[in-house]
Amino acid sequence: MPRFLTLVRIDERNAPTDAPGPEFDERMGALFEEISKAGVMLDTAGLAPTAEGTRITWSGGKFSYTDGPFTESKEVIGGYSISRCKDKAEALEWAKRFLEIHPEHWDVTVEVREIAEG
């Protein structure tokens, strides 16, 4: 079965400051339990803010380093998951269910891409 990488994209500059509440944590925990029991979830995590990151660029045979935050970026990767699904449709369905748990006033985007295997 193919593996899929789901990238969670957020706008760090306009991220919600309100905590989503205990019901959010309960719903997310239930989804993670379900997806894990189904044997789909291989790994998932949130990422530290871009202020703690560094970009390395290779151009013209030289490296350049840029420390975060990356203010020129509207959206950044805030988290990821790696899943094993029967097809892209199943991967998209899990991603949709993940998004539905978030409060309606939050703006969250996910990008689902199949991992190229040999």
Entry pTM: 0.88
pLDDT above 70 covers what percent of the chain?
A: 100
Domains, in order of start, for the chain:
3-114 (3.30.70.1060)
Number of residues assigned to the chain: 118
Residue 17's pLDDT band, with cuts at 50, 70 and 90, is confident
Whole-number pLDDT of residue 75: 86
pLDDT above 90 covers what percent of the chain?
A: 76
Whole-number pLDDT of residue 73: 78
Q: Is residue 62 within a helix (H) or strand (E), and if so which, with residue range? A: strand 62-67
Tell me: pLDDT of 18 over 90.
no
Q: How far, in Å, CA of 3 to CA of 41, rounded?
A: 10
Q: How far, in Å, CA of 55 to CA of 32, rounded?
A: 30
pLDDT digits (tens, 9 = 90+) for 20-55: 888 999 999 999 999 999 999 999 999 999 999 999
